[in-house]
Amino acid sequence: MSRTKMIAGNWKMNKTFSEGQALAQQIVNGVGDSSVATVIAPPYYLLDAVRQIIGNQSNVFLAAQNCHQESAGAYTGEISATMLKSVGADYVIIGHSERRNHFDETKKMLAAKVNQAVAAGLKVIFCCGESLAAREDEAHNAIVKKQLRESLFHLYEKEIKNVVIAYEPVWAIGTGKVASPEQAQAMHKEIRKAVGNAYSDRIAQDMTILYGGSCKPANADELFAQPDVDGGLIGGASLKATDFLSLINKRASA
């Protein structure tokens, strides 16, 4: 088993240019030689600046928050996977619940985005997760497996190896709520089992699976202690360097 410990920061629509530069510099300075892979996902206009700040740091990576499902064309305001690759992005986040909910991203669209990212040579952080209603109806496992099957598991074995899965219980994003460590572990275990069924147990055991539901320093220790939680896709806590670095340190020591 060679799972990568990872903390990925999704800045969403936050930070001016100068604020983003300062935050990225604080993170890069604070990471040091951590064994944890650190991923920074700033808004598009900061990608090149953050890439320059990261420089040759071997354990810090650049991610974009989204890409378009086509390689080029008349799509005003959009950005392609090849464009992201050209400015030095290593990863792209696909399928975030905010994109699914606010921009009506469909399973077919997400599968196309995954294909574009893979073709461009980007690694993918693929998000999946259920609503509160689905959780209360005990349909959460079936819904998450369906999301993976319909938008991700069409990849070949050599391609799925470059995918990180992020489980984000939609009811715990931006609400201050958090899945219990037991709930997070149970879902991560189900996701790993689904990967094993679709590919192989070896690929499943090597797959990095992140928790993406209001993870912060106060609850990170219990979450990271779970055997199938390999790190976090961090929202609000990624906007403050001290909090984000604390999460990286907690993941390193767990």
Write the pLDDT tens digit of every residue in 160-189.
999 999 999 988 776 667 789 999 999 999
Q: Is 96 a catalytic residue?
A: yes
Of 120, 122, 130, 124, residue with least CA distance to 110? 124
- Model confidence, pTM: 0.96
Residue 51 lies in a domain: yes
Residue 40 lies in a domain: yes
Contact yes or no for 31/7 (Cβ under 8 A): no
Contact yes or no for 217/253 (Cβ under 8 A): no
Using one digit for the tens of pLDDT, what is the confidence trace for 84-95?
999 999 999 999
Catalytic residue among 68, 168, 188, 190: 168
Residue 155 lies in a domain: yes
Percent of the chain, pLDDT > 90? 90
Dihedral sign (CA 179, 132, 63, 238): negative
* 230 pLDDT tier (thresholds 50, 70, 90): very high
Q: What is the DSSP string of 2-63?
A: -PPPEEEEE--S---HHHHHHHHHHHHHHHTT-SSEEEEE--GGGHHHHHHHHTT-TTEEEE
Q: Which domain holds residue 141?
A: 6-253
Answer yes or no: is pLDDT of 1 > 60: no
Residue 1 lies in a domain: no
Residue 115 lies in a domain: yes
Of 100, 126, 120, 99, residue with least CA distance to 208? 126
Q: Is 168 a catalytic residue?
A: yes
How many CB atoms are located within 10 Å of the residue 71 CB? 14
Answer yes or no: is pLDDT of 102 > 90: yes
Tokens standing for 93? 């986040």
Q: Which of left, alpha, beta for 200 (phi over 0: left; psi -120 to 50: alpha)?
A: beta
Residue 15 lies in a domain: yes
Return the pLDDT at 170.
Answer: 87
Of 32, 38, 30, residue with least CA distance to 5? 38
Using one digit for the tens of pLDDT, what is the confidence trace for 132-162?
888 888 999 999 999 999 999 999 999 999 9
Return the pLDDT at 244.
Answer: 98
Catalytic residue among 96, 140, 188, 190: 96
Which CATH number fits the domain that encloses residue 37?
3.20.20.70
Domains of the chain: total = 1
Residue 183 lies in a domain: yes
Percent of the chain, pLDDT > 70? 98
Residue 171 lies in a domain: yes
Return the pLDDT at 98.
Answer: 93
Contact yes or no for 185/227 (Cβ under 8 A): yes
